[in-house]
Amino acid sequence: MNQQQYPSSLLENAVNEFAKLPGIGRKTALRLCLYLLRQSEADVEKFGDAIVRLRKEIQYCRVCHNIANAEVCDICSNPARDQSTICVVENIKDVISIENTQQFKGLYHVLGGIISPMDGIGPSDIEIGSLIERVKKEKIKEVILALGATMEGDTTNFYIYRKLASFPVRITTIARGVAVGDELEYADEVTLGRSITNRIEFSSVIK
């Protein structure tokens, strides 16, 4: 496709920036820019400010690696949460998905990825070491493995299970109510909630 001509370099610049976002093409980017031009200056500034502040001020919880407003996230610092149960997830979206089921009252551990030899991601590239440390130092009774039902998810589950086998901790995995091959974020809340409630011993999966 040939390069579009825009009547203003300001517009061209904004369209280019929008079009960098995943799933946003140049036509959609232009539509969004023209929409913003029709909004008040204050509203557009609020939008721009929200984005820049998100990136600049966001922090990652030093305990569970979830995003946070402070050094430790609201979940880890909440005394009402069960401090002896850790739910291991791939990323922040999974924390949000599980929180929305309102079925889980323990803590999380965000790996920041899963083991994937095809993508060159090994155990040391994700937050497995810090998970082992948590189990070692804190009074953890149960680790729930809540990764996607993919081959990479299974590999990561198994790796963590082996690493934790020597600790006096129960290792469970969420029930496969989620269709095999699907990512966690696309599951509906009822299915996802049930799969947490009906979690089973990981040893029963691999035997």
| Binding region for a copy of itself (CB under 8 A) | 2, 4-11, 13-14, 16-18, 20-24, 28, 30-37, 39, 41, 44-58, 66-69, 73-75, 91-93, 95-96, 99-100
Min dist. Cβ of residue 106 to a copy of itself (A): 15
d(CA 123, CA 129): 8
Min dist. Cβ of residue 90 to a copy of itself (A): 12
Closer to a copy of itself by Cβ: residue 100 or 197: 100
Min dist. Cβ of residue 97 to a copy of itself (A): 9
* DSSP code per residue over 47-82: HHHHHHHHHHH-EE-TTT--EESSSS-TTTT-TTS-
Amino acid letter, residue 63: V
DSSP one-letter code for 148: -
Min dist. Cβ of residue 55 to a copy of itself (A): 4
d(CA 88, CA 94): 10
Query: At which residue do the structure tokens 């009774």 appear?
Result: 141
Closer to a copy of itself by Cβ: residue 66 or 173: 66
Closer to a copy of itself by Cβ: residue 97 or 195: 97
